[in-house]
Structure 1
Amino acid sequence: MTLQEVKSHLENLESLKFQLPDGSIVPEHFHVTEVGEVTKHFIDCGGTIRHEKVANFQLWTADDVDHRLQPQKLKNIISLSERQLQLNPNLNVEVEYQGSTIGKYHLEFNDGKFQLVSTLTDCLAKDKCGIPEPQEQEKATACDPNSGCC
C-alpha cells in the first residue's frame, strides 16, 4: 500500500485501527512516532547491487491510555511529511511495531482496518546460489489424482 492509498483510506474512517497478523488490534492509544523514508542500498548474496526505498511508519504504544490518534490527524502528519521530507506519495508503506523486538510489516486495508502483514526474509539470488525454484507439483497444496504425483 502506498502513502497515497493510506491517505485515501483515511478519508472515510471515523477511527484508526491497526490489526496485527495474529488478529489482535494495536491498542487504541497508540502513537505514530515516526513517518519517514527508509533507503536500503545493499548487495545480495549473488553480487547484485540493489536499492529499496519505502515510506516508514513507526507505531508505539505508551501508558498514555487517553491518547487517540484520529484519521484526519494522521492524514495531516503524512501530508506534512510529504512536503517537509519530499516523500513520494507512491512509495510503499512499511510499518514498524514493537513486539518481542521491532517487527517490520507490509500494510494492507480490509474491513475498515489497516492490516499489518508479516514480512519474510528471502534469498534474492536463488539462481546464483543454486537454490532451485519449487516445481509446480511442490507448490500445489493438493495433488491432482491425474497428475501422476500421488
Structure 2
Amino acid sequence: MKISEMKTSLAGLQAVRFRLPDGTYLPDHFHVTEVGLVSKHFIDCGGVERQETVANFQLWEAGDYDHRLAPQKFLHILALSEKILGRQDLDIEVEYQQQTIGKFGLDFDGTDFVLTLKQTACLAQEACGIPSHQLLSLPQLQGAGCSPGGGCC
C-alpha cells in the first residue's frame, strides 16, 4: 500500500483497525509511535547495486486501554510526517512488536488495514546457481508483494 492509498482509506473510516496475517487484531489502544523514511542501499549477491526507500510506521501498544487513534488524528500524523517523507508516494512498511520486531507490508480490505507477510528472496538467483525448478511462480511472487515490472523478480 502506498501513502496516498492509506490517506484515501482513512478518509472513509469511523475507526482505525489493524489485522495481523493470522487474522487477529491489534488492540484498539495501539499507538503510531513513529513514521519514518527508511532507505536501504545495498549490493545483492550477484553484484548489482540496489536502493529501496519506504515509509515506515511503528505500531505499539501500552497499558492506556482508553486510547483510540481516530482516522482524522492518523491523517494529521501523516501530514506532520511530510517534513521527513516529503511528498513522495512511498510504499508503507509496518513494524509491530511480537516476539521480536516484525516487519509487514500493508493492505486494506475496505474496512481494516491488513498487515501482510514479507519474505526474503535472492535477487540474483541465476548468479547463485539456484536451479530454475526452485524459482517461485508468478502467483507466489505476487503473494510476496512482487509484480511484473516491479523490479523484485
- 2: distance between equivalents of 1:32 and 1:60? 6
Which amino acid is the alignment partner of residue 46 of structure 1? G
Residue number in structure 1 paired with 2:125: 126
> What is the identity percentage for the equivalent residue pairs of Structure 1 and Structure 2?
53
In 1, are the aligned partners of 2:57 and 2:92 still within 8 Å (CA)?
yes
- 2: distance between equivalents of 1:133 and 1:50? 23
Post-superposition CA distance 1:53-73 (Å, at most 9, x none): 000100001111111000110
Residue number in structure 1 paired with 2:62: 62
In 1, are the aligned partners of 2:58 and 2:95 still within 8 Å (CA)?
yes
Which amino acid is the alignment partner of residue 106 of structure 2? L
SS at match of 2:132: coil
Length-normalised TM-score, structure 2? 0.85
Deviation at 1:86, TM superposition (A): 4.2
The structure-2 alpha-carbon separation of the partners of 1:57 and 1:99, relative to structure 1 and needing over 3 Å to count, comes to same
Gaps of 5+ in 1: 140-150
SS at match of 1:134: helix
In 2, are the aligned partners of 1:2 and 1:89 still within 8 Å (CA)?
no
Post-superposition CA distance 1:14-38 (Å, at most 9, x none): 0000000000000000000001110
Deviation at 1:129, TM superposition (A): 0.5
**Stretches (4+) displaced over 6 A:** none
**Looking at CA atoms only, which structure, 1 or 2, has the larger radius of gyration?**
1
How many residue pairs get matched? 138
Residue number in structure 1 paired with 2:40: 40
- 2: distance between equivalents of 1:55 and 1:75? 14
RMSD, aligned CA: 1.8
In 2, are the aligned partners of 1:97 and 1:103 still within 8 Å (CA)?
yes
**Alignment map for 1:102-113 (pairs within 5 Å):** 102-113=101-112
